[in-house]
């Protein structure tokens, strides 16, 4: 019986969708292109269903090509496939994380993946300070959600940056102020990761004065011999975000590769033409090989037992723990255990009692939440007591300083500030 595959796409005539269908058919699959906006969901105690024009959708695997404009509905459809135990090439959480640029940056940087310095701004009064935090101008102003270069601007002066941020904020858009990497102006590296492996890579170059290098904006593409450190970052980023198929964009900086963005529905036309690699074939082969396995929401699984879950403790917040053996911290049993130690971007699962804690470590506990809190509390109480007894430091804006005076002077002279005061 042929493997039944659903390609979730609104554009059956688009290059990427057509190529995926061709390669699925070449592998003997029965493939349908389903518009996510025409799919409905039924949830109840008698089962879970996905409907298309009144008929149940019955497939063995789903390959989502969810556009930015339909992210919310598309993610709901993908989540339903997951709940039905059907293999989905990109998880619903992975798609959602990759679309939110701030969330993705937070998750990736916390896993020690190098990224350009980024500031999240929700108030116009924070823009000037954010610009200084990312190294000054030029800087990049971008919307926190978007794709294919939309909502991304290069500001050459503080005034221009403030105007761009103000305009986005007035539209109700969340704003990111990002470090400008001069040496990578108008170019980046796109890496296609499939099933945890790099299958193709290319360098994209912008044309003319355009600094965004996206292929659909008229940028040129060329094959790129990917260094191992670039490949390692790309593989790790896709894995951390929960994406089996990902287009990972990297910047070539003087301090090494920096991760710019991860795309959960990467276009195939540019990279196939630039490299000659059958990327669609790699994707469909991975779907065929992996369709028997569905993803697991580990957080939900661990919380399914009443009163149980995970807790974490960052050692740097409690200096007295540095240098102590893991086995000296607490007595462990089936009601409470140390599941892992997070160290240098990796996890040590079921760690040995003789591990000596470092300042940057994070301890992950699992068990009865009540028992865990009772056992962990004495470890940190000494630090808490010391902090509570320390005199409260004055807030920055309560301190008379040349920096604060200069900041207020610039703000009071700003045209936007004067307009707002009037």
Number of domains in the chain: 2
Q: What is the mean pLDDT of residues 17-33?
A: 96
Q: Is 151 helix (H, G, I), strand (E, B) or coil?
A: coil
pLDDT tens digits along 339-368: 899 987 788 988 988 899 999 899 998 888
Query: In 277-349, where do the E strands start and end?
Result: 308-314, 336-343, 346-349
What is the pLDDT at residue 422? 43
Closest by CA position to 144, among listed 123, 167, 119, 166: 119
Following DSSP, what letter does each residue of 196-255 receive, concatenated? TEEEEEEEEE--TT-----GGGT-EEEE----HHHHHHHHHHHHHHTBSEEEEEEEEETT
Q: Is 321 part of any domain?
A: yes
Give the pLDDT score at 375.
81
In this predicted structure, the answer to whether residue 403 has a pLDDT above a threshold of 60 is: no
Full domain range(s) for residue 384: 298-389
Q: Confirm whether 10 is domain-assigned.
A: yes
Residue 105 Cα to chain centre, angstroms: 6
| pLDDT score of 248 more than 70 | yes
- Asked if pLDDT for residue 400 goes beyond 80, the answer is no
Report whether pLDDT(149) > 60. no
Distance, in Å, from the CA atom of 418 to the CA atom of 166, rounded to the nearest integer, reads 14
Q: What is the pLDDT of residue 329?
A: 77
pLDDT at 45: 63
Instruction: Note the pLDDT of residue 421.
Output: 42
Boundary of a domain, candidates 39, 60, 94:
94
Tokens of 38: 């025409």
Whole-number pLDDT of residue 70: 92
Q: Give the whole-angstrom CA distance, residue 109 versus residue 121.
A: 18
pLDDT tens per residue, range 179-232:
999 998 889 999 999 999 999 999 998 876 666 655 555 578 898 999 999 999
pLDDT of 420 higher than 50: no
Q: Read off the pLDDT of each residue in 71-96 and give the average, rounded to a whole number.
A: 92
- Rounded to 5 degrees, φ, ψ at 329 are -75, -45
Q: What is the mean pLDDT of the chain?
A: 85
Query: Looking at residues 229-239, what average pLDDT do you find?
Result: 96
**154 in a structural domain:** no
pTM of the full predicted structure? 0.78
Average pLDDT over residues 74-93: 92
- Asked if 103 contacts 262 with a C-beta cutoff of 8 angstroms, the reply is no
Residue 53 lies in a domain: yes
> Residue 159 and residue 138: Cα distance in Å, rounded?
11
Q: Is residue 369 part of a domain?
A: yes
Residue 380 sits in a domain whose CATH number is 3.30.70.1450
Residue 30 lies in a domain: yes
- pLDDT tens by residue, 299-308: 667 777 888 8
pLDDT band (50, 70, 90) for residue 372: confident
Strand bridging mode 30-34 / 4-8: parallel
Give the pLDDT confidence score for residue 250 in this predicted structure: 96
Residue 319 C-alpha from the chain's centroid: 30
Q: Determine the pLDDT at residue 148.
A: 56
Output the CA torsion sign for 128, 129, 135, 139: negative
Which of 94, 118, 149 marks a domain boundary? Answer: 94
What six digits make up the tokens of 102?
């701030």
CATH classification at residue 13: 3.40.50.20
The answer to whether position 164 is within a domain reads no
- Region 238-264: what's the mean pLDDT? 94
Domain boundary (31, 61, 94) is at: 94
Instruction: State residue 156 phi and psi, 5-degree precision.
Output: -95, -20
Domain-embedded: residue 237: no
Helix 228-241 with 101-110: angle, nearest 10 deg: 120
pLDDT of 324 over the 80 cut? yes
Residue 214: what are its φ and ψ, rounded to 5°?
-60, 140
């Amino acid at each position: 019986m042929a493997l039944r595959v659903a390609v979730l796409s609104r554009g059956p005539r688009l290059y990427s969708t057509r190529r995926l269908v061709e390669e699925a058919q070449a592998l003997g699959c029965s493939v349908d292109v389903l518009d996510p906006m025409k799919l409905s969901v039924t949830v109840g105690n008698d089962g879970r269903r996905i409907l298309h024009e009144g008929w149940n959708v019955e497939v063995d695997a789903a390959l989502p090509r969810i556009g930015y404009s339909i992210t919310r509905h598309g993610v709901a459809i993908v989540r339903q496939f997951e709940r039905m135990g059907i293999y989905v090439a990109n998880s619903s959480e992975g798609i959602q994380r990759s679309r939110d640029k701030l969330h993705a940056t937070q998750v990736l940087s916390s896993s020690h993946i190098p990224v350009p310095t980024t500031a999240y701004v929700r108030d116009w009064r924070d823009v000037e300070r954010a610009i200084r935090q990312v190294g000054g101008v030029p800087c990049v102003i971008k919307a926190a959600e978007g794709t294919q270069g939309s909502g991304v601007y290069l500001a050459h002066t503080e005034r221009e940056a403030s105007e761009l941020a103000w305009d986005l904020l007035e539209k109700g858009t969340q704003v990111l102020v990002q470090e400008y990497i001069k040496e990578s102006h108008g170019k980046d590296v796109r890496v296609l990761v499939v099933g945890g492996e790099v299958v193709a890579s290319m360098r994209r170059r912008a044309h003319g004065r355009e600094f965004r290098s996206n292929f659909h904006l008229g940028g040129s593409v060329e094959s790129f011999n990917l260094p191992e450190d670039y490949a390692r970052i790309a593989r790790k980023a896709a894995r951390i975000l929960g994406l089996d198929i990902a287009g990972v964009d990297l910047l070539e900086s003087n301090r090494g590769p920096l991760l710019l963005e991860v795309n959960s529905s990467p276009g195939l036309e540019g990279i196939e033409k630039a490299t000659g690699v059958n990327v669609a074939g790699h994707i469909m082969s991975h779907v065929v090989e992996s369709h028997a396995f569905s993803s697991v929401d580990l957080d939900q699984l661990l919380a399914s037992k009443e009163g149980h879950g995970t807790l974490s403790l960052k050692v740097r917040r409690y200096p007295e723990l540095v240098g102590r053996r893991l086995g000296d911290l607490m007595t462990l049993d089936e009601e409470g255990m140390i599941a892992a130690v997070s160290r240098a971007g990796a996890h040590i699962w079921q760690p040995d009692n003789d591990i000596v804690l470092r300042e940057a470590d994070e301890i992950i506990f699992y068990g009865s939440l009540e028992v865990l809190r009772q056992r962990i509390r004495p470890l940190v109480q000494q630090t808490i007591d010391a902090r509570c007894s320390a005199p409260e430091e004055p807030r920055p804006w309560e301190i008379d300083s040349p920096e604060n005076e200069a900041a207020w002077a610039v703000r009071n002279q700003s045209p936007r500030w004067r307009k707002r005061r009037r």
